[in-house]
Chain A
Amino acid sequence: MNLLEVRNLTLKKGENEILKKVNLILEPGEVHAVIGPNGAGKSSLAYTIMGLEGYSPKEGKIFFEGEDITNLPINERAKRGLTLAWQEPARFEGITVEQYLKISTNGSKQYSSSGIELPRLTPEEALLKVALNPEKYLKRKVDKGLSGGERKRVELASILLMRPKAVILDEPDSGIDTVAIEKIFEIIEEFKRLGIGVLLITHSHKMLEAADCATLLCSGFVVKTGSPEEAAEYYNVRCLPCPSEVYPQEEEKI
């Protein structure tokens, strides 16, 4: 049984098909990158898997640990262990970093394969892991006083605290400085170590280094699924520049 399986997913917005019979599998502890040009449907895929408003698929199914979650609300998907980190995290007036992080500490307990309860991080520890000083940040508001990069790191800290089974990271490196990008790699490594599956939406070839496999999306189609190197090479050779205005019509497996 796969951790996450997307089967023949089709998403329509108005007259446009944004996703076309997309298939994708994510296993525990695996980092599966989704790459592709602007408008390929990467973020739409992320939002559809998470069940955001306006992203109900026209066709296809989403399975999480074998359960069909296609019609579940967002919070029910979260309770089952699926979550999303937004490319542009929300700002919250009046809510402190500490309050924001604490909502992620109420999840169900997790156990190792030998049945030992795994310790949870504290908000302070989670902030340190994303290279933010708890003394400086816990009492700050998650509002316009924090930069986009800081909010992004706070969001990752909240996911570390939540400890889901699978996380969708939508462009985790955008707006992040080069020093902090190393921290993002460390966090992805930590997700892997904890057995958390990561669906990594990215433009960045650098981020592909963190991936175990990759899917190349173009105009809502899956063009390639394979190793990150193969997907990147295909993208560089065949997609940059795009050879024609004719988009691929079928999934092609390497």
Chain B
Amino acid sequence: MNDFEKMVEAYESSGGQPEAFKDSDVAHLVVAENRVLGAHLVPGLNMDVEETEKGIRALLVVEEGAKIKKPVHLCFGVLPEEGIQRIEMRVEVKDGGSVSVTAHCVFPNAVKVKHLMDAEIVVGNNARYEYRETHFHGNFGGVEVIPRAKIVLGENSALKSFFGLPKGRAGVVDIDYDAEVGANSVMELLARVNGYGNDRIKIREAGCLKGDGSRGLLESKIALKDEARAEVFNEIVALGAKAWGHVDCTEIIRDRAFAKAVPVVDVRHPEARVTHEAAIGGVNKTQLETLMARGLSEEEATEMIVQGLLQG
């Protein structure tokens, strides 16, 4: 089995759809450590990828007015127990362009692995960008994932970003995203992370609703047990008239885990509105007892509630 096949196998075991790599209508990029193993383009999407001394540099451009029909599939990973993956990525969705990206980041054997992502995402006017990233880190907790993103969203556009780590250990996750949202555009940054053992999770997301009528949602849902720790710092600043934003953080903690949420709302226009809510606590008693009254054990009921939170 060659490296590409090994990556595709890991991708599949983390929930990916390997047939996407055989579909000529589906663009893809497969990167193992700092090596490009495969890439495929479709009309309307340009990709420039190079291996550098530091890692991988990638430029993805959706041409003006181009609607990419099928989601672009990205697969990043480190299969050995140790390694560093460093990716610099710039995404440009030109005016009127539209694309969905499904990314899987797989580190199934990680004992000492670092995954560093520096992203710039520029979405033009009347454009749409949807990015869904699912992680699988194995059960050793030996992964450090440090994604950074600067996002600029034009007018009448939409961006939705989802970071999911629903199963396995998190290791160290340190997310730091900044976004600027133009007039009448919508930004959603969603994170779902499961942590246990001595995992450490830190999420900082900041959205600036600059344009009139801009909207933003920062939503983090985290489940922790054992000695895991999580800190969430989510902030929305509303500058534009009729800007609307919401910051939401829900965390379930068990055992000796602990969680902290610091929602910040900063409104600088009298016609703007930003709300926040944060709920941290154990598994909801009524939920638990309802499922147990249908015959599930306490462990089964807890798992269903936690997975529901992380899938929601």
Contact pattern, A 138-177, Cβ under 8 Å of B = 1, otherwise 0: 0001010000000000010010001000000000000000
| B286 & A103 in contact (Cβ 8 Å cutoff) | no
Given contacts A53-B285, A90-B286, A95-B304, contact A83 B309 (CB under 8 A): no
Nearest neighbor of B192 in chain A, beta-carbon distance: A94
| B297 & A92 in contact (Cβ 8 Å cutoff) | no
- Residues from chain A with a CB closer than 8 A to the CB of B310 are 94
Contact pattern, B 296-307, Cβ under 8 Å of A = 1, otherwise 0: 111001001101
Q: Which of B250, B295, B298 contacts A162 (CB 8 A)?
A: B295
Given contacts A94-B307, A94-B312, contact A89 B294 (CB under 8 A): no
| A93 & B309 in contact (Cβ 8 Å cutoff) | yes
| A75 sits at the interface (CB 8 A) | yes
Nearest neighbor of B297 in chain A, beta-carbon distance: A75
Write the nearest CB–CB distance from B287 to chain A, whole angstroms.
Answer: 4
C-alpha spacing A158/B305, complex, angstroms: 17
| A92 & B287 in contact (Cβ 8 Å cutoff) | yes
C-alpha spacing A84/B294, complex, angstroms: 8
| A103 & B294 in contact (Cβ 8 Å cutoff) | yes
| B311 sits at the interface (CB 8 A) | yes
C-alpha spacing A88/B284, complex, angstroms: 14
C-alpha spacing A89/B297, complex, angstroms: 19
Chain B contact residues: helix, strand, loop or mixed: helix
Write the nearest CB–CB distance from B88 to chain A, whole angstroms.
Answer: 34
How many residues of chain B are within 8 Å of chain A by beta carbon?
25
| A74 & B289 in contact (Cβ 8 Å cutoff) | yes
- Residues from chain B with a CB closer than 8 A to the CB of A73 are 292, 298
| B293 & A78 in contact (Cβ 8 Å cutoff) | yes
| A78 & B295 in contact (Cβ 8 Å cutoff) | yes
- Residues from chain A with a CB closer than 8 A to the CB of B285 are 53
| B290 sits at the interface (CB 8 A) | yes
Nearest neighbor of B301 in chain A, beta-carbon distance: A75
Within 8 A of B (CB), among A72-119: 73-75, 77-79, 83-84, 86, 88-95, 99, 103-104, 106-107
Write the nearest CB–CB distance from A175 to chain B, whole angstroms.
Answer: 16
Write the nearest CB–CB distance from B75 to chain A, whole angstroms.
Answer: 25
| A83 & B293 in contact (Cβ 8 Å cutoff) | yes
C-alpha spacing A194/B102, complex, angstroms: 49
Nearest neighbor of A80 in chain B, beta-carbon distance: B295
| A52 sits at the interface (CB 8 A) | yes
Q: Which of A52, A75, A91, A93 contacts B296 (CB 8 A)?
A: A75
Most buried by A among B289, B290, B310: B290
| A94 & B311 in contact (Cβ 8 Å cutoff) | yes
Most buried by A among B221, B292, B295: B295
Which 5 pairs show the lowest CB-CB distances between chains A and B? A94-B312, A94-B308, A74-B292, A95-B308, A93-B312
Where the two chains meet, the residues of B that have a C-beta atom closer than 8 Å to any C-beta of A are 221, 250, 284-287, 289-298, 301, 304-305, 307-312
Show 24 A/B contacts (Cβ-Cβ < 8 Å), sorted by A. Answer: A50-B293, A53-B285, A53-B289, A74-B289, A75-B292, A75-B297, A75-B298, A77-B293, A78-B292, A83-B294, A90-B286, A91-B287, A92-B287, A92-B305, A93-B308, A93-B312, A94-B311, A94-B312, A95-B312, A99-B308, A103-B296, A103-B304, A107-B295, A155-B290
